[in-house]
Structure 1
């Protein structure tokens, strides 16, 4: 197995301190995310610190493995203790760059947007001065590279699969989109623009409190609505709970602060995923009220009434 070692510093004994990447995955983040490790204070100066903290918070809320017996430290003031049991909303600005057919989406952090833009400008200028030799790069699964997108510009990417020289599957690590292209449109990623200089900027999420429709037409309607409303726009994001593949979040429109997912429910485009966690019950109730309104108005998936009793499984929903 090929791995990538990203060195950040060196200790007094001359040992390297850094990160281990396996097929594009930061092993430290993966260990924290899967409740197998905790964030050490020495990571504070690292570019991965915020990612590690987010992963630890998600793992802590899941309360398994090393967090199985974790309890919040008691506070002296009853009022403050009561607040800790409530849902904590820490919305941060992100830009939605890609929405998948499965209703997952990718975002970039707004605070590092300028850094990415500057890197892309510098990288493209360097490529223009010294164009890569066509066919000189032999792609292998897990390789970081640069790829020429359909707009004619070069972007950072990771090779996900190689069918042949004419069919290479790549993932654009800063935007979240995928493409199949010829190896002649790929080149080695210059070290000056690698992930150790600026980590991959696209982060995958999915919506909290929502059941993704299994029916293709229903899902396509919901995805079309999302593409129209939020793709390539700035939103506010809050992580609500963890998932098997990525965190589940709520999104708000940056201007109105309206909940994007709740809007889908109110339009009758999706059904509510009822969570059992106590601190989420206020949100669940709000979503269920929105669902009842859509059902009463017979909007979209409710156009023929409440189908859940007889054929919920057929449409890919659970009651």
Structure 2
């Protein structure tokens, strides 16, 4: 490590064969005692950790900083070392720019079942017959049987995947969950990655570490996030938004559907959902509960695809359905045409 020899030399010169005061504050899982060390006496007494960090010969654990658990004086010493570019902070950190590889998306078809509905056009689904879904469901049942339903200390960091308790009506059980944010009063907001639902749970009683074999590096998230391609609905705080979500639920929930996955936009799939020969995208638009995406949306999706003809065709079909709804003055159109400002709110 850079400056590793410097740090060792500093210790030999300032600590070796000298009296030191060690305050033990904990023990790691490996049996290593942790704590603080002070060297010297009286007015010469100094905090050795603070000395190393201030000289740029050691760094503060970033996780402790993120969680607000790092001592303020250590953080301030590290910031000063950074500003003065001493020790390890004197090294130029090379930023290697790797050229972005643009991957075009090839359309895929799959039989799916919705597992969570967020709005009239936003949902999560599972692929029917996906073996990884069965493996994960069975594994989490076994995880619950082996560990019971009591929480255990774990690394609570935004983005980390842990086990979280959820009651689906049959009792508490453990499910894989990604930590979205730390809330107030000892609660955390989590996304259950194999189903798509979000919940706020008590940190102390509803979380525990996952077994390594259950990590997303072994089995990726089973539930896929998606939106209806070129189909914009109002938010749930609007009456038409609620009606749109209810229509999606009535047409799609509990059914095996055909999903035409056009492309991926920032981790969210743009899809056309079919119930037999019925397009759910078109049904929402023709009912006046959704409007068609703009030309910029068509271009965004088509540019991400190997062949964007299907998106162009979908846009044309949805536009025809929208014109019928507009002339019929139903749903969003019941008070007349909507302007660009209203369009942006959908």
Report the TM range for the smaller structure's normalisation: 0.5 to 0.7
Task: Give yes or no for the alignment of 1:271 onto 2:291.
Answer: yes
Task: Give yes or no for the alignment of 1:246 onto 2:264.
Answer: no
Which residue does 2:242 correspond to in 1?
220
Which residue does 2:189 correspond to in 1?
169
Which residue does 1:283 correspond to in 2?
314
Give the superposition deviation at 1:135.
4.2
1:170-319 → structure 2 map (5 Å cutoff): 170-183=190-203, 184-213=205-234, 216-244=238-266, 246-253=268-275, 256-274=276-294, 275=298, 279=309, 280-305=311-336, 307-308=337-338, 311-314=339-342, 316=344
Task: Give yes or no for the alignment of 1:127 onto 2:157.
Answer: no
Which residue does 1:43 correspond to in 2?
none
2:287/2:331 contact within 8 Å kept: yes
Give the superposition deviation at 1:127.
2.6
**Closer/same/farther in 2, CA of residues 35 and 292 from structure 1, 3 Å limit:** farther
Give the superposition deviation at 1:303.
1.9
Larger of the two Rg values belongs to structure: 2
Q: Take 2:156 and 2:261, find their aligned partners in 1: how far apart are those partners?
A: 35
* Cα deviations by residue, 1:212-242 (Å, 9 ceiling, x for unpaired): 3357222222112112222343221123345
SS at match of 2:265: coil
1:208/1:241 contact within 8 Å kept: no
**Closer/same/farther in 2, CA of residues 267 and 135 from structure 1, 3 Å limit:** same
Moved more, 201-210 or 114-123: 114-123
Give the superposition deviation at 1:315.
5.9
Dislocated runs of 4+, deviation >4 Å: none
Q: Take 1:37 and 1:164, find their aligned partners in 2: how far apart are those partners?
A: 41
Say what the alpha-carbon RMSD is for the aligned residues: 2.9
SS at match of 1:168: strand
Partner residue of 1:155 out of 162, 169, 175: 175
**Closer/same/farther in 2, CA of residues 290 and 189 from structure 1, 3 Å limit:** same
Give the superposition deviation at 1:180.
0.2
Unaligned runs of 5+ in 1: 3-33, 39-55, 59-87
What number of residue pairs does the alignment pair up?
235
1:33-112 → structure 2 map (5 Å cutoff): 36-37=100-101, 56-58=103-105, 90-101=108-119, 103-112=121-130
